[in-house]
Structure 1
Amino acid sequence: MQQRIDAGPNGEHGTGTNRVTRRSTLIGVGAMAVTGLAGCSATASERLEDVTVFNETDEPIDGTIEIVDPDDAIALSDAFEIASQDEEDDGDSNASAAYERVWGTVGDYEVSVELADGFDIAGETRADETVTIEDTDSTLLAVVLGSDDHEDEISFAVGERWSDFER
């Protein structure tokens, strides 16, 4: 149903994957860090997918994301291993995981993010949110792990273009 897009250095493409360049992701994550949940340039928005999980911590994070659609079917269920900002800065990895073809129908989706055993962000290991998808072709969901700009350690934001996240 959906395809995971693993972001990595140099923009290489692998079998069944589409890599997002470090620069594109830094543009998106940097803008989000500055304005809370900010948008990014057209370059990054063209390369990110329906759902993107960003790690804004200094440590790599492992966990799972599950999204249940309005008909109680699993729209996305995946384990992620996301590099730290330091690893991304070294050019070895990317501090995000992106997923395409998640939204099947208009309606309310239940999103759950749970960090793997041994991982936490300021003591938090899980977050749940209901998000409303009004346009299955253009809606984006950003899940931000460990942003200093948010009260919640795991935060969620929905928009139809990255500029919707700007204040």
Structure 2
Amino acid sequence: MEFVGTGLSGGPRLLRPAVFGALAALALIVFYLGVITVAQGWTHAVQQLGEDLPFVGAIVAGFGTQVGLFVYLRGMHSRAAAGGVAASTGTSTAAMLACCAHHLTDVLPIVGLSGAAVFLNAYKTPLLWVGIVMNLAGIIYLALKIRRQRKMACEPAHPAHGGT
């Protein structure tokens, strides 16, 4: 069954959001590995990714999904979702930083931020859970916006009720 004009049949309308979502997920993994590599080296970064994989995987998948949904929604000509994605993206980034913060304790004292490293390390797991929950909230928000946008596109225009 083909849903003409909705992007539900797959094809080019879903390719762009999928590509952008995948690139965003890849960028977040590169960021994660980059921060740990700078602090502790590549070998440790890969080892840490293995240890944190359930959290990192969930956050990266949620972030990529949000970016893909946002690109899809933008393609539907809605700009209202930007705030929700920005808030959730910030939370995802903070959670990923918390995930590798204990590696930054060697570097942050040099720049005067040892307190931040201690805080992020102490609350690593709760912050990661907050990141995952915020990702889910962002996905639900975007899915509802897409649903509402589709519904508005499918409803016929109602004539103005005049005084006749």
TM-score range, shorter chain: under 0.3
Give the structure with the higher percent strand: 1
What TM-score, normalized to structure 1?
0.23
Q: Normalising by the residue count of structure 2, what TM-score does the alignment of the two structures yield?
A: 0.23
